[in-house]
Amino acid sequence: MIIQSKDITKPVRESADVCIIGSGCGGGASAKILSESGKKVIVLEEGGYFTPKDFQPTEEFAYTNLYRQRAGQATDNLAVTVLQGKCVGGSSTINWTTSLRTPEFVLENWARDFKVQGLSLKDLDPYFNRIEDYLNIHAEPDENHNAQNRLILDGARKLGYRAKANGRNTKDCANLGACGLGCPIGAKLSVDITYIPDAVKAGATIFSGFRAESIEVKGGRKEVLGTVIDQATQKPKFGFTIEAPIVILSASAIFSPLLLLKSKLANSSGQVGKHLTFHLTSALLGLFDNPMYPSRGIPQSALCDEFINKNGDSGGFWMEAVPATPTLASLALPGFGATHRALMHQYQNMGATIVLVKEIDSEGSVTVNDNGRPSISYSVGPRDMQYLKQGIKTTAEVQFAAGAKEILTLHARTTSFKSVDEITRVLSRADWGTNEIALYSAHPLGTCRMGEDPRSSVVDSRCQAHDVKGLFVIDGSVTPTSLGVNPQITILAIAEKSAAWIAENFDQIVR
Amino acid sequence: MSARVPPDVAKQLRFFSPHEYLIMQAVAERIVGAPTSGTPSASDIGVALRADVFLSTADPEIQDQFHQLLTVFNAPLFTFLFDFRFSSFINMKSEDQDSYLEDWMTSIVGFRRTGFQALKRTSLSMFYTEPRSWKEIGFDGMDTR
């Protein structure tokens, strides 16, 4: 059953075996596994509930209804825009479908440096296989790549770099290009149309428009307290209380630590909210003689992974395409006024490529501000900055190899190259400080990190808080390091594995 | 200040004061850029009014910061302290407004660059999410087969 806040007419008090906060990859997968195991499950989702036929493929609709802060969520200094979903299905509802397994070297790092147990590639292999089957993850045939993905494949291969089609979680995709706006034909097998309906079929109740504000632990029982939010006005309607012996926080790497900090729980290590990673992203906009139609076709179907962990330091960067819808393109372009508007006139001839850095020495955090909302800070480390610069330079070379005539970076002060020869000289003069280059994240991770040492981690290898029995964090916050890949498959696999363990050990956990 | 907010617009405002609305409108005009023949201006699209609706449902700290930003950005005291200009932003000539915005965009003071980004993002997102802005960039909406 899915209950929306518009149908709520009085304060809500319910109880369940398991209360899950958040309905994205972590919450959705946990809800399915636990409800199918016979547990009474309640899922709380702050955002609204939409079916594919509700989605209108416009930025206006999507940003207003499906994204956090109208796609404007950012670090406190606005240096990094942090894109997250806020709807049933979470960020899976608005992501660009790229579906990749966790790299083996990352899992090895977790085992070596954080003593994480049971998450080797061999351990996760059955989960990856099952998820890939369930979500129909497949690489697109060559003819399905749009011009921007073709750019990566052709440009990288010309320069001898490894580039390939990536997996996507779609079925009967019509190549509409609307993945980031909510797929209007239900072809994207996101959590809202896979795990959540299966969880509901098995008896789970989903409350949408329910914002969890705090968790109280009373002996073996826990209460999740919060506010029912009117989706039209975003104003509070009523309070709610959900009582359950097991609470799973799946509210993302921004909101899970926020709830723990507000609730003063699970933080004896002092690590809650720390070690935020972003999969730091910037982009290049190439101008081509021919139309590139940057918002048409499959948004992300190919990538270049030549430069990830190439030096064996687990850092590096890679390249993916990005659907440059008009607003995203306008915000990325440098400058303002007449110059900016003239660039927008070349919109359809732009080819956008993003550079994503797998961080090794950047450091971010989430704390609670005076209004009880998240305060996000982030500082780019020197080695990651070097990888970002190298990534921008290399991506420019790839774009030129694919036929770009001029390439713009996302620096506030217009920075462009008209030939390969200009790249190094121009970049050496560019400004790299806060708000001098536009930076993004669609993959915030790591603020409640996993490990076996309670002094340096928040949850154990099964995602249970070291400090509070029966309190779990199952989402992107548990990754001990940056992943270097789009995270949805990693989160789903960790969620399926942890939820299965909870189901098997329920009585022991709640005893 | 010579400009006035039309009464029907003033009645609709949920977040901006009438004075803030005028500042936002002036900022949006310069950030979006002047229209060429047949293309809409920021005012034609109603950028300031759209921003008002958006900000009226934003988190409280964002609302507070935006009010403060508009005050600091426009106030003659600050335009003088920052740039030795003796006028509020809304009373500057267009070329001076552009130069003032450029100073904020490239300032060595971090909070001015942050402030510029807030104004740029608000102005452009309110302009380019509106379908009437699409024709001039050759965009005809997402594929809806």
Q: Are A476 and A487 in contact (CB under 8 A)?
A: yes
Architecture of the structural domain at A142-170+280-441:
2-Layer Sandwich (3.30)
Over residues A287-312, mean pLDDT: 96
Q: What is the C-alpha separation between A186 and A174, in angstroms, rounded? A: 10
Chain A interface includes B56 (CB < 8 A) = no
Where residue B106 falls among pLDDT bands split at 50, 70, 90? very high
Nearest chain A Cα to B14, which residue?
A233
Query: Shortest CB distance from B113 goes to which of A345, A373, A435?
Result: A435
Q: Is the pLDDT of residue A226 over 70?
A: yes
Chain A interface includes B37 (CB < 8 A) = no
Q: Are B36 and B18 in contact (CB under 8 A)?
A: no
Q: What is the C-alpha separation between A196 and A209, in angstroms, rounded? A: 16
Q: What is the C-alpha separation between A467 and A463, in angstroms, rounded? A: 12
Q: Is the pLDDT of residue A115 over 60?
A: yes
Residues 67-86 of B with CB under 8 A from A: none
Q: What is the largest CA-CA distance in chain A?
A: 68
- Residue A227, both tokens: 């506010």
Query: Shortest CB distance from B138 goes to which of A177, A347, A369?
Result: A347
Residue-averaged pLDDT of chain A: 97
Closest Cα in chain B, distance from residue A337 (Å)? 4
How many interface pairs between A and B have CB atoms less than 8 angstroms apart? 133
| Tens digit of each residue's pLDDT (9 = 90 or more) over A55-107 | 999 999 999 999 999 899 999 999 999 999 999 999 999 999 999 999 999 99
End-to-end CA distance of chain B: 50
Chain A interface includes B58 (CB < 8 A) = yes
Query: Shortest CB distance from B142 goes to which of A181, A340, A341?
Result: A181
Closest Cα in chain A, distance from residue B120 (Å)? 8
Over residues A172-196, mean pLDDT: 97
Over residues A258-286, mean pLDDT: 98
Architecture of the structural domain at A2-50+87-95+100-134+190-276+443-510:
3-Layer(bba) Sandwich (3.50)
Q: What is the C-alpha separation between A296 and B91, in angstroms, rounded? A: 42
Closest Cα in chain B, distance from residue A233 (Å)? 7
Over residues B97-110, mean pLDDT: 92
Q: Is the pLDDT of residue B1 over 70?
A: no
Q: State residue B2's pLDDT score.
A: 56
Chain A interface includes B110 (CB < 8 A) = yes
With an 8 Å Cβ cutoff, are A373 and B125 in contact? Answer: no
Closest Cα in chain B, distance from residue A120 (Å)? 41
Contacts of A508 (CB under 8 A, 6+ apart): none
3-state SS assignment for residue A316:
strand
With an 8 Å Cβ cutoff, are A233 and B139 in contact? Answer: no
| Tens digit of each residue's pLDDT (9 = 90 or more) over A422-437 | 999 999 999 999 999 9
Q: What is the C-alpha separation between A458 and A448, in angstroms, rounded? A: 5
Where residue B4 falls among pLDDT bands split at 50, 70, 90? confident
Closest Cα in chain A, distance from residue B129 (Å)? 5
Q: What is the C-alpha separation between A187 and A174, in angstroms, rounded? A: 8
Least confident segment among A118-122, A261-265, A377-381, B73-77: B73-77
Place of tokens 């995602």: A463
Residues of chain A with CATH 3.50.50.60: 2-50+87-95+100-134+190-276+443-510
Q: Are A134 and A29 in contact (CB under 8 A)?
A: no
Q: Is the dihedral of CA A396, A398, A400, A403 positive or negative?
A: negative
Nearest chain B Cα to A369, which residue?
B61
Closest Cα in chain B, distance from residue A314 (Å)? 32
Q: To the nearest whole percent, how much of chain A has pLDDT over 90?
A: 97
Nearest chain A Cα to B26, which residue?
A337
Q: Are B52 and B18 in contact (CB under 8 A)?
A: no
Residues of chain A with CATH 3.30.410: 142-170+280-441
With an 8 Å Cβ cutoff, are B117 and A78 in contact? Answer: yes
Strand partners, A18: A41, A246
Q: State residue B60's pLDDT score.
A: 86
3-state SS assignment for residue A450:
strand
The complex's ipTM works out to 0.94
**pLDDT greater at residue A234 or residue A204:** A204
Suggest the residue from B125, B126, B135 to mutate for an interface test with chain A (most A CBs closer than 10 A): B125
Over residues A29-51, mean pLDDT: 98
Q: Is the pLDDT of residue A39 over 70?
A: yes
Strand (E) or helix (H) holding A103: none
Question: Of B141, B131, B120, which Cα lies nearest the Cα of B33?
Answer: B120
Over residues A117-139, mean pLDDT: 98
Least confident segment among A206-210, A453-457, B53-57, B75-79: B75-79
| Tens digit of each residue's pLDDT (9 = 90 or more) over B79-92 | 677 777 778 899 99
User: In residues, how long is chain B?
Assistant: 145
- Residue A308, both tokens: 């990830």
| Tens digit of each residue's pLDDT (9 = 90 or more) over A367-409 | 999 989 999 999 999 999 999 999 999 999 999 999 999 999 9
Nearest chain B Cα to A53, which residue?
B144
